[in-house]
């Protein structure tokens, strides 16, 4: 009888904890950033979320940027630009 080798593809959990970003209680006049991760339909989802933040919560402006590829992290330059020009940023979409 043959043998079956089982592989466990799960990654080990990270022990490093990161603090949560400051939460905004009032979005009126805030600039919303969208960092599109290039996943299928991510741009549609993020643009709609940003529009709702403007329409229903008074966000003033939306800045849209797109990563080069879903499997590659955003560049430091792109992250710095978003951090400097936006009050909050929507990023990523799962699949």
Return the bridge partners of 34, or none: 64, 90
DSSP class of 20: P
Question: CA-based diameter of the chain, in Å?
Answer: 69
Mean pLDDT calculated for residue range 70-88: 92
The model carries a pTM of 0.70
How many other C-beta atoms can be found within 10 angstroms of the C-beta atom of residue 34?
21
First to last CA, the chain: 38
Domain ranges of the chain: 31-91
How many other C-beta atoms can be found within 10 angstroms of the C-beta atom of residue 21?
8
> Which value, in Å, is the radius of gyration of the alpha carbons in the chain?
18
pLDDT digits (tens, 9 = 90+) for 2-22: 898 888 888 888 778 888 888
């Amino acid at each position: 009888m043959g043998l079956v080798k089982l592989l466990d593809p799960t990654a080990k959990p990270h022990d490093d904890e990161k603090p949560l970003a400051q939460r905004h209680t009032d979005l009126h006049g805030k600039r919303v950033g969208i960092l599109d991760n290039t996943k299928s339909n991510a741009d549609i989802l993020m643009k709609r979320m940003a529009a709702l933040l403007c329409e229903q919560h008074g966000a003033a402006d939306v800045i849209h940027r797109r990563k080069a590829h879903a499997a590659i992290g955003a560049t430091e330059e792109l992250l710095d630009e978003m951090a400097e020009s936006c009050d909050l940023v929507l990023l990523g979409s799962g699949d």
